[in-house]
């Protein structure tokens, strides 16, 4: 199926929301959503990291890991190295993704610190914190999922856009959660449920609500 921008946007923000449908990135979701100001900072950092991570991993997937196809060439094959039947996908996918994401975030952190110190300070500690967050890794892996493009994974520009939308979905979920939690903090919650337990229950209810988006506009998954 040839996916377009709209399908990817609705799919990643509403239908397959990373936090509420796929249950990825729960650590920052519950850890940073006590105050809306923190939640926004975290969400924006995640959008940023997911976009660039998706771009980098899509490049690696299409041009290093997959064998040569009509749509793209494997750079290693072009250099004359032996490329197995299914490419290097099975062996190298996870570890090369982690390597790329970690390096990229470090690099971006260094550049930001030098060039835009205000943005660096605004994102603060969140940037290194989400380097190997499972949600970032998750969106990188999901970009190659079957429903999006069976044989080749998403092309780089679509993968980047999908990463961006995944981040936006994460931001939306964080904003909703922080709004709820700021109110919950003032309400008479039973002592055993205060803070995290009631937050988990609320998160579960939010996930139930988001299930209503399944198959929106006929978009599968």
Site string for another protein, 160-199 (x = CB under 8 A): --------------------------x-------------
Min separation Cβ 111 and another protein, Å: 5
Q: Rule CB under 8 A: is residue 92 a binding residue for another protein? A: yes
Min separation Cβ 88 and another protein, Å: 5
DSSP assignment, residue 81?
Answer: -
Q: Rule CB under 8 A: is residue 45 a binding residue for another protein? A: no
CA distance 58 to 40: 27
Q: Which is nearer to another protein, 117 or 197 (CB)?
A: 117
Count of helices and strands (H, E) across the chain: 10, 0
CA distance 182 to 162: 30
Q: Rule CB under 8 A: is residue 100 a binding residue for another protein? A: yes
Separation in Å, CA 49 to CA 43, 164, 169: 10, 9, 14
CA distance 211 to 220: 13
Binding residues vs another protein (CB under 8 A): 64, 76, 81-84, 88, 91-92, 95-96, 99-100, 103, 106-107, 110-111, 113-115, 117, 186
């Amino acid at each position: 199926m040839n996916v377009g921008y709209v399908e990817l946007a609705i799919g990643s923000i509403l239908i397959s929301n990373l936090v509420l449908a796929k249950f990825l990135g729960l650590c920052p979701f519950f850890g940073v959503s006590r105050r809306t100001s923190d939640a926004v900072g975290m969400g924006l950092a995640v959008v940023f990291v997911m976009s660039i991570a998706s771009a980098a991993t899509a490049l690696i997937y299409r041009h290093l890991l997959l064998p040569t196809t009509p749509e793209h060439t494997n750079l290693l094959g072009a250099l004359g190295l032996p490329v197995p039947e299914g490419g290097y996908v099975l062996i190298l996918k996870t570890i090369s993704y982690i390597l790329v994401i970690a390096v990229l975030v470090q690099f971006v952190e260094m550049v930001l610190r030098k060039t835009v110190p205000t943005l660096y300070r605004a994102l603060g500690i969140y940037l290194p914190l989400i380097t190997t967050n499972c949600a970032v890794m998750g969106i990188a892996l999901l970009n190659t999922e079957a429903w999006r493009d069976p044989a080749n994974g998403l092309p780089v520009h679509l993968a980047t856009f999908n990463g961006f939308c995944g981040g936006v979905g994460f931001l939306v979920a964080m904003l909703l959660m922080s709004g709820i939690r700021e109110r919950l903090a003032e309400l008479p919650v039973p002592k055993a449920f205060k803070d995290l337990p009631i937050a988990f229950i609320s998160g579960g209810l939010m996930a139930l609500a988001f299930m209503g988006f399944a198959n929106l506009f006929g978009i599968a998954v």
